[in-house]
Amino acid sequence: MNDWVLLGILIVVVGFALRLNPLLVVTVAALTTGLIAGKGLLQVIAAFGKAFNDNRFVTIIYILLPVIGLLERYGLQQRARTLIAGMRGATTGRLLIAYLFFRQITASFGLTSIAGPAQTVRPLVAPMAEAAAEKQAPTIDEAGRERVKAYAAATDNVGLFFGEDIFIAIGSILLMVGFLEQNGIKLAPLQLSVFAIPTAVLAFLIHATRLLLLDRSLAKRRVQEAGE
């Protein structure tokens, strides 16, 4: 075995430590590994092309982002804020709990790309949560706004992370099924995904509690401002 092929890992570590361009670092590491392994330059480039072709769905994001940018330019965030501002009883916590439920349910059916930081959090969820926070605490400062935005992003991550493992065809479930089968343990994907349900429920309850505490802190801030 040629241990020099591990040089590619070192290049990645050093490149990231020096904060170089990630795409350039990974490309150089892959080329180095391939050449040291005895592959020709054309073979390595062909491997790059095959990987890109097999995973070309990843480039859909380059089409999606300009569309979202155009929607934002023509007032998508403002309309989202106006919608929440006109709803009585809407709070930041309640809004994000509803989004958390939506995110977990859709992820559990494998619809992981139906929402996300670029698709929904930045253009819709964060502005709506911020508008609700302004109703709860009209003089909220910049640090408070950033905190609300962080909670909106965290809600998306929690919903996706703990919801997707319920879906039987998700990569993590299939990876575990394959690993266990290699070691003589045969399980159906459904048998593993069922065990993800209690974890998802607990994640929902814990994060929902954090969101309600956020509501409480915003309400407390408003009372303090009124007292002053």
| pLDDT surpassing 90 at residue 70 | no
Q: What percent of the chain has pLDDT over 90?
A: 27
Give me the mean pLDDT over the 144-172 stretch: 89
Backbone angles phi, psi at 15, to 5 degrees: -60, -45
Within 10 Å of residue 77's Cβ, how many Cβ atoms? 18
Residue 148: what pLDDT? 94
Average pLDDT, the chain: 83
Q: Is the pLDDT of residue 74 over 80?
A: no
| Amino acid occupying residue 146 | E
Q: Is 41 helix (H, G, I), strand (E, B) or coil?
A: helix
Q: Give the list of residues 6+ apart from residue 121 with CB closer than 8 angstroms, or none.
A: 115, 152, 153, 156
Kindly report, residue by residue over 11-65, the tens digit of the pLDDT: 999 988 888 888 888 889 888 888 888 888 888 888 877 766 665 545 555 666 6
- How far apart (Å, rounded) are the C-alpha atoms in residues 27 and 45? 10
In this predicted model, what pLDDT tens digit does every residue of 77-110 receive, in sequence order? 777 777 777 777 789 999 999 999 999 999 999 8
Worst-scoring range by mean pLDDT, 56-60, 143-147, 191-195? 56-60
- pLDDT beyond 80 at 225: no
H helices, E strands: number in the chain: 11, 0
CA angle 188, 194, 195 (to 5 degrees): 105
CA distance 5 to 103: 41
Residue 209 has a pLDDT of: 97
pTM of full prediction above 0.75:
no
Pick the more confident residue, 92 or 71: 92
Residue 78 confidence (pLDDT): 77
The yes-or-no verdict on residue 169 having pLDDT over 80 is: no
